[in-house]
Structure 1
Amino acid sequence: MSRIITVAMPAHGHTGPLLAITADLVARGHEVAFLGGSRFAEAAGATGARFVALPPVADFDDRDINAAFPGRAELPAGPERALFDVRHIFIDPIPAQYQALQALLAEFPATAVIGDSLFQGMLGLALARPKGERPAVVSIGTAPPTLQSVDTAPFGPGLPPLAGEQGRQRNLALNAEATRRGEPLRQYAAALFASVGVALPEGPRTDTIVRAPDHYLQLTVPGFEYPRSDAPASFRCIGALPPLAAAEFETPSWWHELTDDRPVVVVTQGSLAHDDLTELLVPAVRALADHEALVVAVTARPDGPQALAERLGTLPGNVRVAGYLPFERLLPHADVLVSNGGYGGVHTALRHGVPLVVAGAGEDKPEVAARVQWSGAGLDLRTGRPAEADLADAVGQVLGEPAFRERARALSAELAAHRPLDAIAELVAALG
């Protein structure tokens, strides 16, 4: 058995997958130390791993991200806020992450470091020393890959592939422009790496995130990820992680209404983007108020049902509202998921063969939404604040055209054929 270090950014969408991997490695008999956010100490301990907290300068509580990063709330959603996030949430912690990882390695020599792909302090290990002089570095793609390719547009705006020579020329031009525009951030990151004695390579920083690790394992399947003829051999899709055991929950009084007698449309803004319910939940409920479907609005906040009712005035008769519901129990009853495009949530829907309507802005959500439409499993509304009419039309189209459900079911079968935890365990075994 091996000693393994697992690491993750202190945010739920990044930490959750790494804790699932950590628990599986512990169950297979490995000795594991998890380095992550302090609010996840109990969850990490429950895996059987040793928990090590990130230093305060690299730690934050993602449940109130604006409080953790003053000034963020004043920026409009879009490119300006995205730039703020990349600089302050993902790049600024690099030295502290790297130093914390080095300190842990000094007392807990490990065969491999397995981490969330956006925990960029982990890259320092891969960049500072050759393979034989350090642990193997295994990056887990918890968001769509940022790797540039002649076959794809650059990461960010959510542009799907364009076939043929026209597409290749478009991609070359857009990637060159993205590299130029990203150079100030690369230099900013390079200075932080240099402060701990690590040289960041020339070229797109987004490529280094994927190319520098010894192995880059993307948590999806080829049917949901753009093909790249020039991807490195270290890059592969291993499937989405299996669900955790559904927690016990109090079944709502309306649960018996989830039947095959009428369509069920589930609406969510995700587990964290729930401060402003008018982004998606309010317009979706209004758009579907006269629809034949039963609409289940999941607010992901304890006061959500009351807050949504206050914003709507009157709750439509076909709408049921909940604060928290386990999607592993809810989605088997759903015919459509209306979502803001969280990577994990979208894959949960696809595991159950549920097609989607996605309205997402910020972070990686435009890229996730674009992949939903490219894969044929749903529609991308290309905005984080969709109009009611557009939502109504999109839900009607996805419900009315069997191709969306068929494609979602095909992706469900593809996901079921992959065994990501086995793939990681086999890699660890091969490393010795």
Structure 2
Amino acid sequence: MSRFLFVVPPLVGHINPAVGVAAELVARGHRVAWACPDPELVGRLAGSGAAVFACAGAPPGERPADLRGPEALKFLWEWYLLPLAEAMAPGVRAAVAEFRPDVVVADQQAFAGALTAERLGLPWATSATTSAELTDPLAGLPRVREWLDERLAALRAAVGDPAGTADPRFSPRLVLAFSTPELAGAVAGVRWVGPSITARPVPSGFPWEWLGGDRATVLVSLGTANADAGGRFLDVCREALRERADRVRAVIVDPGGVLGADGDGADGGDDKDVLIVPSVPQLALLERGVDAVVCHAGHNTVCEALWHGVPLVVAPIRDDQPVVAGQVVAAGAGVRVRFGRVTAPRLGAALDAVLHEPGYRAAAGRIGTAFRAAGGAPAAASRLEELARESE
């Protein structure tokens, strides 16, 4: 029996893939614990019995909703990722001292896990919950790369081993990538395990009876962290979908309530063609039959759609999303539109393409087949077991 400590940021999209891997390790008789600034979130996603060591989190602050490109990337690092690492480091060290893990599994954005393991001489693996970093997105931005290297060197000096050389985003021993080359492209030095898709509790209250009939079903979602930026885009989606009401039935996820009370959802409106709700049981919905997904190109949403062979319309907002959107388009599994400038006619045309041109669905199906063959959580757990044995 080995002990594995998962170090994760307080972000749903980064915890969810690790949950299935952790559950698989526990089922094989190993001990698992977590280090995270939000123990309640980990408990909700991993189960109330999860052992979670609390860490401090990044200082409060808000990123401007309209920030894009390199400036958005720099803001993300300066405002969130680097402060998060410094804040988490003492809690991660305390977790290691108490739990005594054989292997640290550090999320790619939880640098405190990698640097603490390096400092203490522990083997560590990278949990790459998005494949964007693996494809060198800064290849054409040498000044941004230089700036980032300087920041990471300063972080290592503060919380890691000053003599260390490994990039905290990429373990020299094991990088678990929750995708496959069929979507992300060929990248050397990683273990492709495919998405970690595991059953989630299905909350009550979703109107399943609303689905069905002979019309296609479209899901529109901007994930859990983009409510501040999505008002105009969701309104455009609603307009385009209503124009296709004779052949499309749509579910729009509107956690911020930016569409107001003009729809059939939690507010009890009477629109029979567009269901507007604050949240959905996404996996269950995809399993019951969605014909297309419109999203922000978040890695988890993209992978969950493709796992089910569903083509996409992607409208990236920031961070890794433009890279993931590019992967979708290059793989032939979707159409990209401009988040800030798309019109209802353009969005409608993109929807018509993925719904009616068979090549998109065929490509999505091929990627889904590759995802399933990669092994998912059991394959990731086996790789981690190998690392633990090699380190004995």
TM-score by length of 1: 0.80
Count of matched residue positions in the alignment of Structure 1 and Structure 2: 381
1:183 partner letter = E
Aligned-partner SS, 2:309: coil
Instruction: Report if the CA contact (8 A) 1:266-1:298 is conserved.
Output: yes
The answer to whether residue 221 in structure 2 is matched with residue 265 in structure 1 is no
Instruction: Report if the CA contact (8 A) 1:8-1:36 is conserved.
Output: yes
Please give the alpha-carbon distance, in whole angstroms, between the structure 1 residues aligned to 2:225 and 2:261.
15
Pick closer, same or farther for the CA change 1:320–1:45 going to 2, 3 Å: closer
Instruction: Report if the CA contact (8 A) 1:116-1:142 is conserved.
Output: yes
Aligned counterpart, 1:290: 243
Structure 2 residue runs of 5 or longer lacking an equivalent are none
1:327 to 263, 282, 291: 282
Please give the alpha-carbon distance, in whole angstroms, between the structure 1 residues aligned to 2:168 and 2:232.
31
Pick closer, same or farther for the CA change 1:45–1:419 going to 2, 3 Å: closer
Please give the alpha-carbon distance, in whole angstroms, between the structure 2 residues aligned to 1:188 and 1:361.
24
1:138 partner letter = A
Pick closer, same or farther for the CA change 1:144–1:308 going to 2, 3 Å: farther
TM-score by length of 2: 0.87
Aligned counterpart, 2:161: 198
Please give the alpha-carbon distance, in whole angstroms, between the structure 2 residues aligned to 1:82 and 1:179.
14
Aligned counterpart, 2:231: 278
Pick closer, same or farther for the CA change 1:191–1:119 going to 2, 3 Å: same
Instruction: Report if the CA contact (8 A) 2:111-2:169 is conserved.
Output: no
Aligned counterpart, 2:8: 8
CA drift of 1:237 comes to 1.0
Instruction: Report if the CA contact (8 A) 2:310-2:361 is conserved.
Output: yes
Please give the alpha-carbon distance, in whole angstroms, between the structure 1 residues aligned to 2:311 and 2:53.
39
The answer to whether residue 230 in structure 2 is matched with residue 238 in structure 1 is no
Aligned counterpart, 1:124: 115
Alpha-carbon RMSD: 2.7
Mapping 1:417-428, distance limit 5 Å: 417-428=373-384
1:81 partner letter = A
Please give the alpha-carbon distance, in whole angstroms, between the structure 2 residues aligned to 1:302 and 1:243.
27
Aligned counterpart, 2:184: 225
Aligned counterpart, 1:30: 30
Instruction: Report if the CA contact (8 A) 2:111-2:168 is conserved.
Output: yes
Query: Residue deviations 1:334-376, cap 9 Å, x none?
Result: 1111111111111111111110000111111111111111111
Instruction: Report if the CA contact (8 A) 1:272-1:300 is conserved.
Output: no
Aligned counterpart, 1:248: 203
CA drift of 1:78 comes to 3.7
Pick closer, same or farther for the CA change 1:41–1:122 going to 2, 3 Å: closer
Please give the alpha-carbon distance, in whole angstroms, between the structure 1 residues aligned to 2:261 and 2:77.
31
Instruction: Report if the CA contact (8 A) 1:26-1:47 is conserved.
Output: no
CA drift of 1:328 comes to 2.0
2:255 to 301, 317, 321: 301
Aligned-partner SS, 2:249: strand
Aligned counterpart, 1:100: 91
Query: Residue deviations 1:36-87, cap 9 Å, x none?
Result: 12242533672643210112xx257xxxxxxx314x2376344323311122
Instruction: Report if the CA contact (8 A) 1:377-1:408 is conserved.
Output: yes
Aligned-residue identity in percent: 27
Mapping 1:60-71, distance limit 5 Å: 68-70=60-62
Please give the alpha-carbon distance, in whole angstroms, between the structure 2 residues aligned to 1:10 and 1:155.
24
Query: Residue deviations 1:72-117, cap 9 Å, x none?
Result: 2376344323311122211122233333222222222211001211
CA drift of 1:196 comes to 2.9
The answer to whether residue 382 in structure 2 is matched with residue 391 in structure 1 is no
Instruction: Report if the CA contact (8 A) 2:250-2:275 is conserved.
Output: yes
Aligned counterpart, 2:17: 17
Instruction: Report if the CA contact (8 A) 1:304-1:322 is conserved.
Output: no
2:50 partner letter = A
Please give the alpha-carbon distance, in whole angstroms, between the structure 2 residues aligned to 1:336 and 1:85.
30
CA drift of 1:200 comes to 7.8
1:216 partner letter = V
2:377 partner letter = L
Deviates more, 1:291-300 or 1:41-50: 41-50
2:154 partner letter = A
Pick closer, same or farther for the CA change 1:424–1:399 going to 2, 3 Å: closer
CA drift of 1:308 comes to 5.7
Please give the alpha-carbon distance, in whole angstroms, between the structure 1 residues aligned to 2:175 and 2:183.
17
CA drift of 1:178 comes to 2.2
Pick closer, same or farther for the CA change 1:81–1:262 going to 2, 3 Å: same
Please give the alpha-carbon distance, in whole angstroms, between the structure 2 residues aligned to 1:89 and 1:122.
16
Please give the alpha-carbon distance, in whole angstroms, between the structure 2 residues aligned to 1:279 and 1:404.
26
Aligned-partner SS, 2:34: strand
Please give the alpha-carbon distance, in whole angstroms, between the structure 2 residues aligned to 1:382 and 1:24.
39
2:369 partner letter = A
Aligned counterpart, 2:47: 46
Please give the alpha-carbon distance, in whole angstroms, between the structure 2 residues aligned to 1:400 and 1:41.
40
CA drift of 1:243 comes to 2.9
Pick closer, same or farther for the CA change 1:356–1:100 going to 2, 3 Å: same
Pick closer, same or farther for the CA change 1:318–1:24 going to 2, 3 Å: same
Please give the alpha-carbon distance, in whole angstroms, between the structure 1 residues aligned to 2:45 and 2:207.
30
The answer to whether residue 141 in structure 2 is matched with residue 155 in structure 1 is no
Aligned counterpart, 1:408: 364
